[in-house]
Amino acid sequence: MSKPRLALFDFACCEGCQLQIVNMEEEILDLISVVHPVQWREAMSEQSEEYDIAVIEGSITRPEDEERLRRIRERSRFLIALGSCAATGGINNLKNQLNLKEAQRIVYGDAADMPHLDTDSTKSVDEVVLVDFKVLGCPIDQQEFAYIVRCLVLGKTPEIPTYPICVECKLQENTCRYEHGEICLGPITRAGCGARCPSQATWCFGCRGLSDEPNVYAAREVMDKYRKTPSDLEERMALFCSKPRYDHE
Ligand code: SF4
Ligand code: SF4
Ligand code: SF4
């Protein structure tokens, strides 16, 4: 049986998630034993338009990107959103919290009025097309990406944790970052990274997005216990865990 053909496409992002895949080194050979890459700008020069699995990195910020994404979806049997930018809008969502013109001025200064910089609100991939699987994280976890691709090839549904990071953190026996006077988003962030940041003595900034049923009550209790305020929490959530949309009209 021929291997499914995989094509990787990038939109608005830093391409760090692709780099994670490139850096899989020997493990990438295992992955290539189950899928056949046919388009991947960062890693190969061939560009076939015939593929079964489309992997989308980056968020969607321009009308022409929406059109390109829809064409990719039409050509593919399965579509994977790779990394926070694609899966949730990621760090690009910061733009949605500002007036669009103001955001452009902050980033591009005097060049902000150039026509090709006239972007729209940030959208996650599933706000434009149907997404079959999401690989969360900024950047993604290499093992989780390989696991999701293998599940897809085998026709299995990947099991992605629905519980919060705190569960993994407790299993690692880390000292809670709140004990160090920090605000950590572990109580409301989806697990799956093995509590990577608290295990390296830093707070979770929520890059995997909100867990299915974030335990807001428990988070509030923790905040009260350590004399933090809801606005402290909201400020920290601005990066990855909230998506207020400024009216850009
Ligand atoms: S999710 Fe993070 S690492 Fe991945 S492309 Fe976006 S900004 Fe870069
Ligand atoms: S709040 Fe953060 S540091 Fe504390 S247990 Fe949860 S994940 Fe770990
Ligand atoms: S601990 Fe939090 S910020 Fe760090 S990788 Fe995991 S989800 Fe992302």
Distance separating alpha carbons of residues 24 and 141, to the nearest angstrom: 10
Q: Is the dihedral of CA 15, 17, 20, 21 positive or negative?
A: negative
List per-residue pLDDT tens for the chain, 249 residues long. 689 999 999 999 999 999 999 999 888 888 889 999 999 988 888 889 999 999 999 999 989 999 999 999 999 999 999 999 999 999 998 888 888 888 888 888 888 877 766 677 899 999 999 999 999 999 999 999 999 999 999 999 999 999 999 999 999 999 999 999 999 999 999 999 999 999 999 999 999 999 887 777 777 888 888 888 878 888 888 888 775 444 433
**Which ligand 2 atom is at minimum distance from the Cα of 178?**
4
Ligand 3: residues within 6 Å at CB?
A: 137, 165, 189, 193, 195-197, 204-208
The tokens for 22 are 């490139």
Q: Tell me if the bond preceding 115 is cis, omega within 30° of 0.
A: no
Q: Is the dihedral of CA 99, 104, 106, 109 positive or negative?
A: negative
Distance separating alpha carbons of residues 204 and 223, to the nearest angstrom: 15
User: Which residues are within 8 A (CB) of 225 and not within 5 positions of it... i.e. 6 or more apart?
Assistant: 178
17 lines ligand 1 (CB under 6 A): yes
pTM of the model: 0.91
pLDDT at 100: 82
- CB 47 within 8 Å of CB 8: no
Which ligand is nearest to the Cα of residue 139, counting in written order?
1
Distance separating alpha carbons of residues 240 and 165, to the nearest angstrom: 14
What single string gives the DSSP state of each residue in 192-211? -S-STTGGGTS----TT-B-
State which amino acid sits at residue 208: R
Which ligand is nearest to the Cα of residue 93, counting in written order?
1
Closest CA to 52 of 11, 86, 96, 7: 7
Alpha helix segments (H runs only) across 46-114: 63-75, 83-87, 100-108
Which ligand is nearest to the Cα of residue 191, counting in written order?
3
- Give me ligand 1 centre to Cα 42, in Å: 14
Name all domains of the chain by residue range, CATH numbers in brackets. Answer: 5-154 (3.40.50.700), 165-237 (no CATH)
Convert 59-80 to b/e letters by CB count within 10 Å (16 or more is b): bbbbeebbeebeebbeebebbb
User: Which residues are within 8 A (CB) of 22 and not within 5 positions of it... i.e. 6 or more apart?
Assistant: 28, 42, 43
Burial class of residue 158 in the structure, from the number of CB atoms within 10 Å of its CB (0-12 exposed, 13-18 middle, 19+ buried): middle
230 lines ligand 1 (CB under 6 A): no
Pocket test for ligand 1, best of 11, 57, 60, 80 (most atoms within 8 A of CB): 57
